[in-house]
Structure 1
Amino acid sequence: MIAITGSTGQLGRLVISDLLTRVPADQIVAIARDPESAATLGVSVREGDYDRPETLATAFEGVDRLLLISASEIGKRVPQHRAVIDAAKASGVGLIVYTSLLHADTSALGLAEEHRQTEAYLAESGVPYTVLRNGWYIENYTGSIGAAVEHGAVLGSAGDARLTPATRADYAAAAAAVLTADDPAGEVYELAGDEAFTMAEYAAEVARQSGREVAYRNMPEADYRGALEGMGLPAPVAAMIAQSDAAASEGALYDDSHTLSRLIGRPTTPLAQAIAAALAD
C-alpha cells in the first residue's frame, strides 16, 4: 500500500496520476486534509492533517510506503513534518519518501533550513527513508509568463547564473518511480532538469515563441523584493522569492548530475516545450 500526503496539491495529483500507470488503484491511498477535495483522484482517500496528528495515525494504517510531500506553510514545516514522521513510525510504515530541496545540506536558499531539519529528524527516526531533493520547478517561472509577455520583461535577481529547473511532472515521475522500486531505501537523490539556461535565455525563448519583445531585467535582491510586493505578493513570500533568486545567482539552483532523467528513464521536459505549454494555457 502506497500513501501520498498533500495529495490534492499540484505535485501530489501528478504523483497519483503517474502511480496509476504503475500499480492498481486499490494499492494507492490519497491523504488529504479535506477528503472531499480528493474525491476525483480515482483512489482511496483518507483524512490526514499535518496540524492534527491524531488524524495521521489512522490515515497510515496498513501503509507500506509513504510519500511525505513537504508542507506548503513556510515556518511551520518542521513540526508538521515531525508529526507525519512520528505517526508513520507508530503505524509501522516501512518506508518514507520525502520531497526535500536540491542540495539541501549545503544550499544557501532560506528555504533549505526546514528541509535540513526534516532530513535530520528522518535519519533519527529509525524508519527507512529516501530523500528526493527536488530542484526548482520550471512552473515557478512559466506561472507568470502571461505578465512577462504583457509587460515585455522577466524580473529577477539570478544574474547570469545557469539554472536547471524541471517540470512538476518530471519530479512526480521520479517520486512514482522510487515509490514502486524494488529496494529504494537509503538513497538521497539530487534532482534537476537536464537543460541548463540563464534567465536571459529563458526570456529570449519566451520572446521567440510569443512573437513579442521580452527581456530579462536583473535587479538587486531588495529591489526585486519590492517589485514583487508591488505586484501584490505578501511581504514574506516576496522576500522568500527574492532571496531564492539571489542565491540562484551563486549557483544554488544548478545541478548537472542528470540524476532525474536517469531515475525517470527519459530526458526531462525541454524548456521550449514547457514554455509552449504555458503559452497555450
Structure 2
Amino acid sequence: MEMATRVTLISSPSLNGYKRSPISLPFFLPFHQRKRSSRTLTVVAMADVPLSTVLVTGAGGRTGQIAYKKLKERTDQFVARGLVRTPESKEKIGGADDVFVADIRDAESIIPAIQGIDALIILTSAVPKMKPGFDPSKGGRPEFYFEEGAYPEQVDWIGQKNQIDAAKAAGVKQIVLVGSMGGTDLNHPLNSLGNGNILVWKRKAEQYLADSGIPYTIIRAGGLQDKEGGLRELLVGKDDELLQTETRTISRADVAEACIQALQIEEAKFKALDLASKPEGVGTPTKDFKGLFSQVSACF
C-alpha cells in the first residue's frame, strides 16, 4: 500500500469554527494573495494517507477502460492497475507500466498483476461475436458464436475462478465482481447466444466468490449503454425484479463508478445486487452511494 501526504490549511486567529481545506503537496501561496489577506495561514502537516492499490481486470473492455481511467484520476485515493489480454489492448489504454498483459484462463500468468494489490475489480467477460452474412433487410435474427477457447465456461467461470483464487492467496481485502441481470432465468435469451449459457457460468463464479470468504460486492448490471455517467438516478434490486420494470439499462460509466464506490463503502460489502437506472431527466441523479448500497440486504 502506497502513501500520500496531505496538508491542511487552518485560518487563524479565529480558531473556533476554522475552515479546513485538504490539498496535495506541494502548496505555494502566491505573494499577492498573502499581502491582501488579513489572516495568518498556518500549514499543518497531516499523517500520511494510505492509498489503496486496485487492479481492474478486463481493463481493455468498454466498461473496464472507464473504471481504470477513473482510478487513475483519483491519485489521492488509489494506485491503479489494469490487466488486459493482449499488447494491443495495453496500447489502446495508454500502454502504462501499471497495465499487465495476461490471460485469465492461465492461472499462473495473472499472479504478477495481483501481487501487492488491496482490491480487485473483475470486469472480464466472454464476448459473443455475430456470424458473418447477416442481412437485417431480410428479417430474422443474427446468429452468434464464441471463439474457440473463449466460451463463457472458460472465461466467466474458469477465468474468474482463477482471479478469485489468486486474490485470496495474495491476501486481497475486497473483490468487486460485475455480472449481469437475468441469471434467475435459465431460458434468458443471453444464455442462448452461441449456446454459451453465459449467465449460468457467471452465476457459478458469483457463488464461488461469495463462498470464498473474501469481502465482496457483486453488481449484476442491466443492459449496458455507452452514455455519460452521473446523470441518472440509480436503482438497486434483487433476483431480477428490475427486469419486470422499464428500468433495465444503465450506462457503463455508472457501473464503473459503482464499482469504485463499493471499495469505499462498508455497506457495499458481502452484497449481491442488481443495478439499473431511470432515464436521464427522470428522478434525481444518484450521489449518495452509501444510501444506495444500504437498500440491499447483505446476502447472495
TM-score range, shorter chain: 0.5 to 0.7
- 1:44 maps to what in 2? 98
Q: Secondary structure at the match of 1:93?
A: coil
Counterpart Cα distance in 1 of 2:273 and 2:186? 15
* 2:80 is aligned with 1:28: yes
- 1:57 maps to what in 2? 111
> Which sections of structure 2, spanning at least 5 residues, go unmatched?
1-52, 127-149, 192-197, 228-243, 293-300
- 2:210 maps to what in 1? 123
**Distance 1:99-1:161 versus aligned 2 partners, 3 A rule:** closer
- 1:100 maps to what in 2? 179
* Aligned partner of 2:161 among 59, 74, 82: 82
- 1:5 maps to what in 2? 57
**Distance 1:64-1:121 versus aligned 2 partners, 3 A rule:** same
Note the C-alpha offset of 1:87: 1.1
Counterpart Cα distance in 2 of 1:133 and 1:182? 19
Counterpart Cα distance in 1 of 2:111 and 2:60? 19
- 2:289 maps to what in 1? 263
Counterparts of residues 187-202 of structure 1 (less than 5 Å): 187-195=271-279
**Distance 1:161-1:186 versus aligned 2 partners, 3 A rule:** closer
| TM-score normalised by the chain length of structure 1 | 0.57
* Aligned partner of 1:134 among 221, 244, 261: 221
Counterparts of residues 197-236 of structure 1 (less than 5 Å): none
Q: Which has the higher strand share?
A: 2
Q: Secondary structure at the match of 1:4?
A: strand
Q: Using the TM superposition, name which of 182-191 and 169-178 deviates more.
A: 182-191
Counterpart Cα distance in 2 of 1:24 and 1:35? 28
Q: Is the 8 A contact 2:180 2:220 kept in 1?
A: yes
Q: Is the 8 A contact 1:70 1:100 kept in 2?
A: no
Note the C-alpha offset of 1:181: 3.6
Counterpart Cα distance in 1 of 2:264 and 2:87? 24
Q: What percentage of residue pairs aligned between the two structures are identical?
A: 26
Q: Secondary structure at the match of 2:58?
A: coil
**Distance 1:182-1:67 versus aligned 2 partners, 3 A rule:** same
For residues 188-219 of structure 1, the C-alpha deviation after alignment (integer angstroms, 9 at most, x for no partner) is 232002139xxxxxxxxxxxxxxxxxxxxxxx
Q: Which has the higher helix share?
A: 1
Quick one: which amino acid aligns to residue 255 of structure 2?
Answer: Y
Note the C-alpha offset of 1:107: 7.0
For residues 107-133 of structure 1, the C-alpha deviation after alignment (integer angstroms, 9 at most, x for no partner) is 752242112101111122222211011
Note the C-alpha offset of 1:60: 0.5
Q: Secondary structure at the match of 2:256?
A: helix
- 2:254 maps to what in 1? 170
Quick one: which amino acid aligns to residue 161 of structure 2?
Answer: R
- 2:29 maps to what in 1? none
Q: Is the 8 A contact 2:66 2:256 kept in 1?
A: yes
Q: Is the 8 A contact 1:170 1:264 kept in 2?
A: no
**Distance 1:43-1:195 versus aligned 2 partners, 3 A rule:** farther
Size of the aligned set, in residue pairs, is 188
Indicate the structure (1 or 2) with the bigger Cα radius of gyration.
Answer: 2
Note the C-alpha offset of 1:43: 6.6
Counterpart Cα distance in 1 of 2:291 and 2:102? 32
**Distance 1:102-1:43 versus aligned 2 partners, 3 A rule:** farther
* Aligned partner of 2:269 among 175, 185, 202: 185
Note the C-alpha offset of 1:38: 2.2
Note the C-alpha offset of 1:47: 2.7
Quick one: which amino acid aligns to residue 114 of structure 2?
Answer: F
Counterpart Cα distance in 1 of 2:95 and 2:71? 11
Q: Is the 8 A contact 1:128 1:185 kept in 2?
A: yes
| TM-score normalised by the chain length of structure 2 | 0.54
Q: Determine which structure has greater relative contact order: mean sequence separation of CA pairs < 8 Å that are 6+ residues apart, divided by chain length.
A: 1
